[in-house]
Amino acid sequence: MIRYSGFYHQGAVVAKKRRRNPHTEKDRKSMRSTPAAFIMSGALAVTVAFAAAGAADARQADRPHAGHAPERPRPPMGMMRATPGQTAQVSIVNGQGADIGKATLTQGATGLLIRVEATGLTPGWHGIHIHATGQCEAPFTSAGAHINHGDPKKPHGLLNAEGPDDGDLPNVFADAAGAVNAEVFTSHARLAQNGPGQWLLDADGSALVIHANPDDHSSQPIGGAGDRVACAVIKAP
């Protein structure tokens, strides 16, 4: 856009062309928006100041008071670890009281490895569980129910959406001669005094029980595993 302005020169009016400077218009618009920009930048500065003060307060709160050592956070249950290496070897007996084999329990960092070596069982799969009482008088009901001391208690079954309980183990297989040679692992039991799982060497001990049938790992109360046909007492020496 062109504007005309007049001025006198030797008695004549001379027209002078003036062009609107686009940069000047931009600066004017910028100046009109300056108060809002200042307000927003000021609010941002206040927010940053408050955040810095809050962080400083949090750091101050985390510092131990004079005379008090900082409390060490406890690891979640899933991160608890035991000292590996502790072992126990227990005899497995049948319903007639005869010794039919042994179980060797070895403590790992995150659970318990159990090696089962037994004979005289019917060929096929057998449920095997850890029970709460270290007694093995036939028919082995003296061993009580599964170790299951959690609160709330879990239902039975490695394949149960709400389980498993602490005594659940994978099935073991007896060959055509009725012999079992297997290893099973559980993170729900331990020999060590500290670590993940239930402590098996408490005052009344615990027991390893082999059943007549396979465990289906879902139905209640024991997955259809049937009668208790063999048992091993687990107690502190």
pLDDT by residue for the chain (237 residues), tens only, comes to 444 444 444 444 444 444 555 555 554 444 454 444 433 444 444 344 444 444 444 444 444 434 434 444 545 555 689 999 999 999 999 999 999 999 999 999 999 999 999 999 999 999 999 999 999 999 999 999 999 876 778 999 999 999 999 999 999 999 999 999 999 999 999 999 999 999 999 999 999 999 999 999 999 999 999 999 999 999 998
Could you give the CA distance from residue 200 to residue 193 in angstroms, rounded to a whole number? 9
State residue 237's pLDDT score: 83
The answer to whether the CB of 112 falls within 8 A of the CB of 106 is: yes
CB neighbours (10 Å) of residue 127?
A: 25
Residue 173, both tokens: 């297989």
Bond into 221 cis (ω within 30): yes
State residue 79's pLDDT score: 63
Strand pairing report for 180-186 and 112-118:
antiparallel
- In the beta sheet, which residues pair with residue 174? 124, 180
The answer to whether the CB of 192 falls within 8 A of the CB of 133 is: no
The answer to whether the CB of 112 falls within 8 A of the CB of 186 is: yes
State residue 76's pLDDT score: 53
Residue whose tokens read 């209640």: 220
What's the pTM? 0.67
State residue 113's pLDDT score: 98
State residue 78's pLDDT score: 52
Could you give the CA distance from residue 228 to residue 135 in angstroms, rounded to a whole number? 13
